[in-house]
Structure formats: C-alpha cells, structure tokens
Structure 1
Amino acid sequence: MAKRPARITWRQRLNRFLAWVRLRVPFGLRLLLGIVLICGGLLGFLPILGFWMIPLGIAVAALDIKPMLRRWRNRHRE
C-alpha cells in the first residue's frame, strides 16, 4: 500500500505563501497587498471576505517593514 503523505499544517502553508510572496511580489507592492488584505479583513462580515485576512495582511506587510519582520522571525523561532 502507498503511504499517505503527511498532513500540511496551517503554519507550513503560511510560511510557503510568505516565501512565494517574498520571491514573486515587488517591494512596494507587498506593503500595498498587506494593507489591502487588512482592509478586506475589516469587512469580514461579508460573504467572500473574512477576518482571516487581517493576520495574513499583517504578515505580508511585515515583509517590507524591517522591525516587524524581525519581530515576526523572533516569534516563530521559539
């Protein structure tokens, strides 16, 4: 029988997404994308948008803001 692949956690998905954004999206556009995600998260009561967009927007915006990026990395090392 074939082995089942290990289940991917949400942290692994988030790290994979952030790595993709870091490589593919230009510098200033990442900050703008993060702000758009945060604003979309504030409208989370609407059907397509959700409150999950707020932390994702903060993580994407943190890629361009050095102090936030340091704090994000230190937090996830623990």
Structure 2
Amino acid sequence: MSDNHHRRLDRRVDRIQGRLPDPMARALGRIRTPSATWIRVPAGILLVLGGIFSFLPVLGVWMLPLGLVLLAYDIPPLKAPIGRVLVWGERRWREWKRRRRGNARPYS
C-alpha cells in the first residue's frame, strides 16, 4: 500500500516539476533524489516552521505545503495524505481555471 502512495506522490510532483522553469525544475529534481535526504528533511522542517510563522514579513503560508511535500518523501505516514491533498488541489485548480475561462468576456 505504501508503494502506491509513493507512486501517487511522485506522479503529482512530476507534474508540478514539469511546469516549473528549468532552473527550479532541476533543483527540485536534485532534492527528490534518494541521496538528498540530508537536504530534504532539514529544508522541509524549515519550510514548515516558516509557514507556521507566516505572519512575519518574508515568510508565507506557501512554505507550509512545500515543506510537507518534501517531508512526505521521508516520512511514510505523510505520503498518503499529502498525495490526496495534491490530487485534490490539482482538481480544484483545473475547476477554477475552467470557471474563470467560462466567465471571461470577449472585448467589445
């Protein structure tokens, strides 16, 4: 079962990585390698802490989900819920774009 969760997480992060600019996509690819655990875990913890303290300048709520995704690669109980949240978020994003496109008015 855990292998299915890992594959789901990988597929979703692959899609995100494919939409990023090349330098960011390469950096994400390096962080996702199995040998990068020593970078991924501290970065994930720091991002989660930064997301918790998002009321401070420079830090933001965007840091929390990014940190959780990084931690999900190394903490098995996080893989299933984070994978589900990524699937849910992608669906919501597509629905939002579809609604927005439908509400767009042509220029007169």
Q: Which runs of 5+ in 1 are unaligned?
A: 1-10
| Residues matched between the structures, number | 66
- Listed as ranges, the matches of 1:59-78 within 5 Å are 59-73=69-83, 75=84, 76=86
Q: Which runs of 5+ in 2 are unaligned?
A: 1-15, 89-108
Q: Distance in 2 between matches of 1:77 and 1:19?
A: 20
**Corresponding residue number in structure 1 for 2:11:** none
Q: TM-score, normalised by structure 2?
A: 0.46
Structure having the higher helix fraction is 2
- Does structure 2 retain, via aligned residues, the 8 Å contact 1:30–1:61? yes
Shift of 1:35: 0.7
Q: TM-score, normalised by structure 1?
A: 0.60
- Does structure 2 retain, via aligned residues, the 8 Å contact 1:28–1:64? no
Considering only CA atoms, is the larger Rg found in Structure 1 or Structure 2?
2
Name the CA shift for 1:67/1:24 in 2 (closer, same or farther; >3 Å).
Answer: closer
Worse-matched range after superposition: 54-63 or 24-33 = 24-33
Identity of aligned pairs, percent?
35
RMSD: 3.0
Q: Which runs of 4+ in 1 moved over 2 A?
A: 16-20, 66-73, 75-78
**Corresponding residue number in structure 1 for 2:13:** none
**Corresponding residue number in structure 2 for 1:27:** 37
